[in-house]
Amino acid sequence: MSGNAEMEILVEDVWKSYDGGRIEVLKGVTLQVEKGGVVALCGSSGCGKSTLLNVISGLEDVDRGLVRVAGRDVVDEATRIELLRHRIGYVFQMHHLMPDLTLAENCMVPVIAAGGKRAEGLARLRELAEITGVAHRLDQRVRELSGGERQRGALCRALMNDPEILLCDEPTGALDESNREKVFDLLLDLVRSRGRTLVLATHDPELAGRCDRTLRMRDGRMVESMG
Amino acid sequence: MSLWRMVFTNLHRHRVRTAIGAAGIALGVATMLSVVGLLGGAVKMFERILQSDSEMVVFEKNVSDLFFSNVPVEVAEELEKQPFVKEARPVLFTIITAPERPVVTCFGIEIADPRLGKGEWLGGSAADFIDGKDVVVLGERAADFLNAKAGGTIELGQGTYQVAGVVRLENGFENGGVFMPLGTCQHAFHKEGVSSVITVALAKGHEASEVKDWMAEHHKRLTALENEEFSRSYSQFKIMKTTAWVVGGCAFLLGGLSVTNTMILSVFGRIKELAIARVCGFSRGQVARMIFGESLLVSAIGTALGWALSTAGLYALRAVPQLQGYIEPRIGWMEVAGALSLAVVTALAGALYPAWYAANLKPAEALRFE
């Protein structure tokens, strides 16, 4: 594995199934993403993109195979927690913000989880909110925000603990065209300007085309790599 | 934003659910404190009857109830001759029947017993309270429900008695009781020469142990206890106090079920949110702490409400004219601490399953949950 030592994300021959093995979702998937790499995972619904992201973040166990993130094997709860607190930020198609909390309170959840200092968290929140354009909406409850604002808020939350890796599952899938462009531009800008690693699951070939590399999945297998 | 702020926000946004959970605990706390307060007050009142100007009580060993205790009156005379005793007063407790009142507490006391002097004489005179004569002094409440007045007569048990006076007494049991001269009472109940207890006031500078030693040496069938010692060991008090805590505890259990229900609903109502918290880096322990925190907060609110409810309820009961003197709200720090401890245990036990469920949610599955 010495050749893969510098890889930020290493997935090797990973198998994942549900329902006692009757539904196979990942069938021997292998993926390598170098530090600072911007990679798009493409493929139709149900091909295994989301499951692969979940496996990388440790949200789902694998049946067999190796998953190594930031140099650590994702094998136990402690590693998963450490990765999700400090190394990985996750953005979903649906914002998944807590509707009764303000945007600021939502963004502080990862800081609470990591036991971070409130003052430092708030300073970082103000900085990120300025960059993502939601600074004026921080004290609003999520239900009062537009779709674009919610998704930018979700991006803000994912970056709160300054993770090295950003996993995005159709992050613009629920947005209209105008917001989709803005949010994606913002995402790429943030990732590239800070040298972060991005793995993006998307249906959209246009968005995928703006990434450094595009990997195509079909029926639980990695079938094509471009770029 | 802290974990506690999240806890508070979670409860605040489901106010009705939170209120129902807190109400369950509040009713449990209120029931418990009311029962404990009422019975504790009753015990305290009975203790005060025994402790009137005295530090010790002498009674027959191993009796289940003081009504069955027989202490020769001569023992009081012997005790009064001892240098360590200032005063020894025999008191005979009995139950007597009156027309339409099958149970009336009757106190057989010496004429010189100071307890009647402490009350406010509403009619009659202490001078008419003469030993050997068929006379009684009535507490104000007793006079009221027996429809008797000073100077009139009253039927009690097998006899007819002259009402020598009516006295307003602070203690509910005494105020609702009948006082007979000791000799008259002994004769009426065929207990010549005996009393139920002897209350003993110590001479200045002397110790209770001197009375105990003397009693052990001269009257092995009897025992002498300090008032506090007596209150701790008297089986009737123990039964009453235990009953109060058991009844209260059962009420609490019901309250605990309401907390469990509230917390289960709370967890099932926000499975996706809990999953997101996990995605944001919450550990299983943090999720569990959040759920336990919510449960503790619900219980704390319920305990405060229950305390207020029981205090208000007991004071309201005390204001009812028919109950005056019988209700002595007595919710001390021990009772509150007991209720609070039970609330904490209830909160933790009630949140056990919801917290376990929430902590063990698989985030990826939970995010797919509809």
For the stretch A174-189, pLDDT in tens is 778 877 888 889 889 9
CA–CA separation, B84 vs B46, rounded Å? Answer: 26
Residue B271: CB atoms within 10 A of its CB come to 18
Q: Residue A37's closest CA among A182, A223, A199?
A: A199
Assess B368–A contact: CB distance below 8 Å, yes or no.
Answer: no
Q: Which residue of A has its CA nearest to B282?
A: A113
CB-count burial class (<10 Å; 0-12, 13-18, 19+) for A181: middle
* Cα angle: A200, vertex A205, A206; to 5 degrees: 95
CA–CA separation, A225 vs A217, rounded Å? Answer: 9
Mean pLDDT, rounded, for B221-226:
92
CA–CA separation, B94 vs B189, rounded Å? Answer: 8
Mean pLDDT, rounded, for B73-101:
93
Q: A84, B280: Cβ pair inside 8 Å? A: yes
Q: Residue B325 has what pLDDT?
A: 58
Q: Chain A: which residues have CB within 8 Å of chain B?
A: 51, 54, 57, 59-60, 77, 81, 84-86, 90, 92, 96-98, 100-101, 104-105, 108-114, 118, 157, 161
Q: What is the pLDDT of residues B130-187, one digit of tens each?
A: 988 999 999 998 998 899 999 999 999 989 999 999 999 888 888 889 999 999 999 9
CA distance B225 to chain A (A): 59
Q: Residue B264's closest CA among B287, B285, B291, B300?
A: B291
Assess B1–A contact: CB distance below 8 Å, yes or no.
Answer: yes
Pairing mode of beta strands A38-42, A197-202:
parallel
CA–CA separation, A64 vs B109, rounded Å? Answer: 90
Q: What is the pLDDT of residues B24-44, one digit of tens each?
A: 888 888 888 888 778 777 777
Q: What is the pLDDT of residues B48-81, one digit of tens each?
A: 777 777 889 999 998 878 888 999 999 999 999 9
* Mean pLDDT across chain A: 90
CB burial of A143-152 (b: ≥16 within 10 Å; e: otherwise) equals: eebeebbbbb
CATH 3.40.50.300 fits A2-226, yes or no: yes
Q: B276, A109: Cβ pair inside 8 Å? A: yes
pLDDT band at residue A2 using 50, 70 and 90 as cut-offs: very low
CA A166, A172, A178, A179 torsion: positive or negative? negative
Residue B127: CB atoms within 10 A of its CB come to 9
CB burial of A184-222 (b: ≥16 within 10 Å; e: otherwise) equals: bebbbebbeeeebbbbbbbebeebbeebeebbbbeebeb
Q: Residue B243 has what pLDDT?
A: 85
User: How many angstroms from the chain centroid is the CA of residue B114?
Assistant: 26
CA–CA separation, B293 vs A201, rounded Å? Answer: 37
pLDDT band at residue B263 using 50, 70 and 90 as cut-offs: confident
Q: What is the pLDDT of residues B195-221, one digit of tens each?
A: 999 999 999 999 999 999 999 999 999
Of how many residues is chain A composed? 227
What residues contact residue B292 under an 8 Å CB cut-off, 6+ apart?
Answer: B347, B348, B351, B355
pLDDT of A112 strictly over 50: yes
Residue B38: CB atoms within 10 A of its CB come to 22
Residues above pLDDT 70, as percent of chain B: 96
Of B275-279, B319-323, B332-336, give the lowest mean pLDDT range: B319-323
CA–CA separation, B145 vs B98, rounded Å? Answer: 10
Q: Which residue of B has its CA nearest to A119?
A: B1
Helices (H) and strands (E) in chain A, counts: 7, 10
Closest residue to A109, CB basis, from B13, B280, B364: B280
DSSP class per residue in B98-128: ETTEEEEEEEEE-TT-TTGGGSEEEEE-GGG
**Domain boundaries of chain B, sorted by first residue:** 3-46+237-368, 62-220
CA distance B345 to chain A (A): 26
Which pTM does this prediction carry? 0.73
Q: A60, B364: Cβ pair inside 8 Å? A: yes
Q: Which two tokens stand for residue B136?
A: 């009684």
**ipTM for the complex?**
0.89
Chain A residues with beta carbon closer than 8 angstroms to that of B278: 59, 84
Q: Residue A55's closest CA among A36, A30, A82?
A: A30
pLDDT of B327 strictly over 80: no
CA–CA separation, A131 vs A163, rounded Å? Answer: 16
Q: B9, A92: Cβ pair inside 8 Å? A: no
* Cα angle: A24, vertex A26, A32; to 5 degrees: 170
CA distance B273 to chain A (A): 6
Q: B9, A111: Cβ pair inside 8 Å? A: no
Name the residue with tokens 């993403």.
Answer: A33
Mean pLDDT, rounded, for B226-235:
79
